[in-house]
Structures are given as structure tokens and as C-alpha cells.
Structure 1
Amino acid sequence: MSGRPLRSTLFTLAALAATSAFANAAREFSPESPANQLVKEVDIVESLNEQVPLDAEFTGTDGKKVTLKQLIRGDKPVVLTLVYYKCPMLCPLVLGALTKSARNSGMALGEDYRAITISIDPRETPADASERQRGHLQALGTPGQEADWPFLVGDETNIHKVADAVGFKYRFDQASQQYAHAAAIVVLTPEGRVSRYLYGVEFPPRDLKLALLEAAGGRVGTSFDRIIMQCFKYDPNTRRYEFYIFGFIRAGALLVFGALAATLAVFWRREYKRGSIK
């Protein structure tokens, strides 16, 4: 298993514990137990800068076919989630946490970013997707913005094309008829390249905003947002954006320089006017 944070592993274990197969195996846990083998096959292998397959085709809640190229348009970063809509535990937690974080991030769906949710279960239907989509758009306060956060279903081939590209490893458990998978969201650049992973079932709004700003490369957000970006740096050990003192000093120096330049400009203008009057 890769260096995925412990909490992501624990969330995966918790989801598996909800199934009878895992509950029975957990009574006699050993390295060879079916439950332990299942967990080993569930992981996220970070694939930073990897291009998602834009030719991958899915079906939207309206029943129409759509490719990722039609949804990833090159102007805004994208939050990608791989879930399944009938998931009894982990997926609702991930989507709920994303919705809550997005609502409090100060970033506007459709204006600053887009989102795409894809079901990893090829048996699910547009009706299954529509039910989930409606609830999360309502919770986000953006009803009617289905085009900015499509919920998709597709066949096994296209699902795996996307999952493999972003390193999202999952497995179907025959005994429970459920999917085992990790808890994470993937932030893509406007062109559809993997920029950042955020893990767990709680995403601090600041981290989501910084991940989107980072992925956008200056194409969204305000000038102040770009200054704030200088003050935080992603820490691969904690999987969080941490305060970066040198960036803070650099940003502070730029602000001081800007204020000084503005003051001198006003002073020189006044002196110039006085000289003209004489």
C-alpha cells in the first residue's frame, strides 16, 4: 500500500466493516484474511500531472452521452469524485464533505470551478445519478446548475480509463455486493491534468480553495487570492496546505513594495504639479 494517509485507510476499513463479509472476517483478522487482502487492493496511487482521458464517454442524468472533453473546457479547474450512488456509507460522507467545504470556500461553482462525479458501478443508472445530484446541488445552494456539476454513469471500460489515470484503485466485493474504495477527491487543472489529491471525509474549505487556485494557475480568483497562495504550501506528509513562512515574507515584501511605490507615485505627481505651476 502507498503512503496514503492513515485516516483514508481507516475510512476504507470503516466502510468495509459495514458489510457482513468484512465483519465476519474481522473476528479472526490475519494477513491472509479476505478482508485484509481486500484492503490491500484498495488504494490511491498519486498520478500528479497525469492527463485524464478526455475521450472517455459517460451518460448524464438527462440520458445523453457526453465525453470528458465536453465537460473539461480549459477555462476552470475541476473537482473530480469517483463514487457510487448506492454506496451505504463512505460515498455520501465524501460527497457531503465536498459540498460543505465548497459552500464555505468562497469559490463559486460555475464561476471559479466545475465538478464532475462519476459512478464506479456500471450497473447504476441516470436515475440513480439524478437523485444524488439533486440533493448535493440543493445543499450547495446551487439548484439548477446541473451543467456545472454533472453526475455521470458509464460502462466498465470508460470507468476504468478514468480511475486508472488518476490512480484510484477499487474492488467489487462479491460477498457484500458493495465496492471497496478509498476516500479522496481529485483536483484537476482546467486542461484535465491531475493537480492535487485531498483525502478523507473532511476537507477544510481553505485547503479546497487553495487546491483550486493552485490548479487554476492564476486563471481564477482575485489578486488577493494569488497573494494568499504565496503564504501556503502543500505538505505531502500531512496532506494539507500549511503556512509557509518564506512565502509569507515574500508576499509581505511585495505588499510593502507596492504600497511604497504607490506613495512615491503620489509624491512625485504632486511635485510635478508644483513645478508646472511655478
Structure 2
Amino acid sequence: MSSLPSLPTSRASWCVGLAVAALLLGVGQPAFALPGGGKTPQAIVNAEQPPQVQGVDVEEHLGEPLPLQARFLDSAGREVRLADVLPKDKPTLLTLVYYECPMLCNLVINGQVSAMREVGLELGKDYEAVTVSIDPKDTPAQSEQRRRRHLQAMGKPESAPWHFLTGTEENIQKLTEAVGFKYRYDESTKQYAHPAVVQVITPEGSVSRYLYGTTFSPKDMKLSLVEAGNGRVGTSFDRVILSCFKYDAAMRRYSFYVFGFIRTGAMLVFTALSTMLIYFWRRELKKGAAA
């Protein structure tokens, strides 16, 4: 098997090297909202779906604020405002599920856990997580059970900041409407039809990005968290990498951004020329002083 090319040392070359590595490794495959999504007109999507899932989709509300005063119960049964569990200095991964879901919710959460383990950022230090049940019948005891299980899967202590919340239908709807999470309850099966998505929330409490599907690229998750953190998350190197990638709304993933690469290269050239000119200018000043 041929080895990957070695990565050069300059920022611009890092961008090229990482883009090549991404292509070779095939990371960041697109994941779409279930069951619809994409650019297909909603009327066509609905015509192809059974009645139970018609209208189930994600209507992206990028930049829109969350209802921070909405009230929920945490896993200990305490009433909290959404503002109380969203950190003000780091981004948050927000997941909407319900605890009696026979399959999809578990796939989403397990996919989230898998990506969080490989994302290269630390839960609690760089970002936090909030999971809210869309079923008003779910209880804090169920929240505690799932919270403990998923933190154990990540190897994190029970004090880690991943909040599992339950609430009334009124407060649940405030949140789902704010993020454009469209779901419906099927009386015949006693189940909810809903999309598969994780929302990335800024420290200010607004929607920054949507990550779709049941498996999530750690690269996409990291870039979305760094982007939502607006300089407060990740290293300087992470922010350089973000300048070389841009979110592709059509593919719903981060793709290599050639103009970011050009801009980064131009800045490097400008910095190098400035450094050289300052060096020669100082040398000439020293010569003049010596004379």
C-alpha cells in the first residue's frame, strides 16, 4: 500500500496536504437528513413517502436564536431554563430524540458518541452537549439512564457536561420550531417520525450548523464546532484548517476551499516580505548609526 505524502510545513501547504489526505482517505462523506432533505421539492418528497412521515424534515434556521427561557427538567428532576444548560463561552451539540425510539434515535446518538470520541476536542473544555426528548411523556429517570450510558461509552465521568432534558409539549415545540426540526406523532404505532440531525449551537445561543445522518464525520464535527466557537474553540492550527475548508450547503459537508488556500498563501507571502523588509531596514539603520 502506498503511503500518504508527507505534509509540508507552511500554512498554505498544510491546506493542500490535508485536502489530498482527505481525498485519499475518503473522509467527510455527505449525510442527509432522514427521510427527505436535499433539494427535492417538498411536494415531491411527500408524494413518495407514506402518510406517517409526510412533512418530516429539517428547515434550516441558521443564525436564529434558541428559546433560551424555555423550561425543562434535567436528569435529576430539577427545572432548568435552556439558558442554564447552554454554555456562554463554548459551542454546544444539540440533539433532539425520544427515549422509546426503537431505532433511529439510538443510531443518531451512537453516531454522535463515535464522532465525539474522535473529534480531537474535549467535552467540557471545548464544547458541551445537550439532548432534549421530543416526547413529553419521557421522564428525568430515563434521562439519567441514557446520560450515564452514553458518558460511559465515551469514557467520561458522570459530572461531564452532557445534559439530558425532558419537558412539556409547549416547551418542546418552542425548541423544535426554533431549530426547524419537523416531526410528527403516528397514533397507530405510538411512535414519532423525525429527522436524523445534530444541531451545532453558538455560545450566544443561535443555530450555527446542522450535521445530518446517523454517522458523522469527526472532521466535519470539529470544523463546525470551531466555526461555531468563533475563535474560542480549538487551536490556531484548527482555525487555519477552517480557512481552507468551506461548508458546502448542497453536499452538507465541509469541502476544500481553494480561495481560502489562496488567501492563506497570500498572507504568508505578505508576512514573509514584511519580515524581510523590516530586517533590511533595521540593518541599514544599524549601519547608519555605526557610521
TM-score by length of 1: 0.83
Unaligned runs of 5+ in 2: 1-29, 38-45
Work out the number of aligned pairs and report it. 254
Distance in 2, Cα, partners of 1:62 & 1:173: 30
Distance in 2, Cα, partners of 1:136 & 1:100: 10
8 Å Cα contact 1:213/1:221 also seen in 2: yes
The corresponding residue for 1:185 is 198
- 3-state secondary structure, aligned to 1:258: helix
The corresponding residue for 1:23 is none
1:205-216 → structure 2 map (5 Å cutoff): 205-216=218-229
Equivalent residue in structure 2 for 1:235, among 226, 248, 252: 248
1:140-155 → structure 2 map (5 Å cutoff): 140-146=154-160, 148-155=161-168
Query: After the TM superposition, which of the residue ranges 197-206 and 36-45 deviates more from structure 2?
Result: 36-45
The corresponding residue for 1:75 is 89
8 Å Cα contact 2:36/2:57 also seen in 1: no
- Residue 90, structure 1, aligned to residue 104, structure 2: yes
The corresponding residue for 1:21 is none
Q: Which amino acid aligns with 1:99?
A: V
Q: Which amino acid aligns with 2:33?
A: S
TM-score by length of 2: 0.79
Distance in 1, Cα, partners of 2:200 & 2:31: 20
Shift in Å, 1:89: 0.5
Distance in 2, Cα, partners of 1:234 & 1:196: 9
Distance in 1, Cα, partners of 2:278 & 2:118: 39
Shift in Å, 1:86: 2.0
8 Å Cα contact 1:11/1:90 also seen in 2: no
Q: Which amino acid aligns with 1:91?
A: C
The corresponding residue for 1:62 is 76
Distance in 1, Cα, partners of 2:203 & 2:131: 16
Unaligned runs of 5+ in 1: 13-29
Q: Which amino acid aligns with 1:8?
A: A
Shift in Å, 1:255: 3.1
Distance in 1, Cα, partners of 2:154 & 2:243: 28
Identity %: 53
Q: Which amino acid aligns with 1:210?
A: L
Taking a change above 3 Å as real, the CA distance of residues 103 and 6 of structure 1, as seen in their structure-2 partners, is closer
The corresponding residue for 2:52 is 38
Taking a change above 3 Å as real, the CA distance of residues 106 and 261 of structure 1, as seen in their structure-2 partners, is farther
Shift in Å, 1:60: 0.8
- 3-state secondary structure, aligned to 1:9: coil
- Residue 162, structure 1, aligned to residue 160, structure 2: no
Shift in Å, 1:267: 6.3
8 Å Cα contact 2:61/2:179 also seen in 1: yes
Distance in 2, Cα, partners of 1:31 & 1:233: 33
Q: Which whole-Å deviations, capped at 9, do the CAs of 1:21-51 have from their partners, x for residues lacking one?
A: xxxxxxxxx959xx61222121111111111
Q: Which amino acid aligns with 1:154?
A: G
Distance in 2, Cα, partners of 1:264 & 1:134: 59
Q: Which amino acid aligns with 1:68?
A: L
Distance in 1, Cα, partners of 2:238 & 2:271: 16
8 Å Cα contact 2:35/2:195 also seen in 1: no
Taking a change above 3 Å as real, the CA distance of residues 212 and 276 of structure 1, as seen in their structure-2 partners, is same
Q: Which whole-Å deviations, capped at 9, do the CAs of 1:180-212 have from their partners, x for residues lacking one?
A: 100001111111111111110111011111111
The corresponding residue for 1:135 is 149
Distance in 2, Cα, partners of 1:63 & 1:243: 45
Q: Which amino acid aligns with 2:261?
A: F
Q: Which whole-Å deviations, capped at 9, do the CAs of 1:61-102 have from their partners, x for residues lacking one?
A: 111111111122321111110001221100111111111111
Distance in 1, Cα, partners of 2:281 & 2:262: 28
Distance in 2, Cα, partners of 1:205 & 1:267: 45
The corresponding residue for 1:244 is 257
Shift in Å, 1:9: 3.1
Equivalent residue in structure 2 for 1:203, among 197, 202, 216: 216
Taking a change above 3 Å as real, the CA distance of residues 143 and 273 of structure 1, as seen in their structure-2 partners, is farther
Distance in 1, Cα, partners of 2:60 & 2:269: 39
8 Å Cα contact 1:11/1:183 also seen in 2: no
Shift in Å, 1:143: 1.8
Distance in 2, Cα, partners of 1:11 & 1:94: 16
